Amino acid sequence: GAGVSQSPRYKVAKRGQDVALRCDPISGHVSLFWYQQALGQGPEFLTYFQNEAQLDKSGLPSDRFFAERPEGSVSTLKIQRTQQEDSAVYLCASSLGPTGDGYGYTFGSGTRLTVV
Amino acid sequence: QKEVEQNSGPLSVPEGAIASLNCTYSDRGSQSFFWYRQYSGKSPELIMFIYSNGDKEDGRFTAQLNKASQYVSLLIRDSQPSDSATYLCARYFSNYQLIWGAGTKLIIKP
């Protein structure tokens, strides 16, 4: 695709509900990143994939968070038993090279998750 | 330390003036720095990156990096109302992970 596509754009979840957020990166991009952005803050790193391999998941806040990219393209971020502190915008980004290319990367429009 | 510090603002600048945004960082090993612009409700978009000491110009934007003093700045000349946004400074923590400041809200007054 022409850009990084994320869905849904907005998600309201009841506390305790499981959610799945989808990211469709730019075609051919090797690297995929998930970031979490709380209101009024900069993005916080969650996890990094190089093709289908999850090379770094050190930023995932708890074991309720799980990410996968089984075929090296589309990625899903799953949050189990959502809690109010999970409310944030979840940003996906991709880049062509195996790292950030030194030039940063391109973000999708994000998914705004609100846990009520 | 990973911190990247920015003044949250808002910074109010008259239309046509120069807007100056600043960012400091604590890791002397930092090499590459980025300025992203984020409109309300939108995702960050890359404006400039810089990795060498000195100035880098791109149109109305100039990034300045001073590694000895550990700061990086962004100058916007001839500010336009459309420049009103939050400006995020970021640096590489590893060769793929970005560490971000909280952003400075810029308001350009017509």
pLDDT tens profile A16-65: 999 999 999 999 899 999 999 999 999 999 999 999 999 999 999 999 99
Q: Do A31 and B96 touch (CB under 8 A)?
A: yes
Name the band, by pLDDT with cuts 50, 70 and 90, for residue B29: confident
Q: Do A33 and B96 touch (CB under 8 A)?
A: yes
- Which residue does chain B place closest to A109, by CA atoms? B43
Task: Say how far apart CA A11 and CA B75 lie, in whole Å.
Answer: 37
Task: Say how far apart CA B89 and CA B65 lie, in whole Å.
Answer: 12
Q: Do B90 and A100 touch (CB under 8 A)?
A: no
Tokens at residue B80, please? 């336009």
C-alpha distances out from residue B46 to A93, B35, B37, Å: 12, 6, 6
Q: How far is A104 from chain B (nearest CA, A)?
A: 7
Task: Say how far apart CA B75 and CA B57 lie, in whole Å.
Answer: 9
Task: Say how far apart CA A1 and CA A35 lie, in whole Å.
Answer: 21
Percentage of residues of chain A with pLDDT beyond 90: 84
Q: How far is A90 from chain B (nearest CA, A)?
A: 10
A46, containing H or E segment: strand A44-50
Judge whether A31 is closer than 8 Å to chain B, CB to CB. Answer: yes
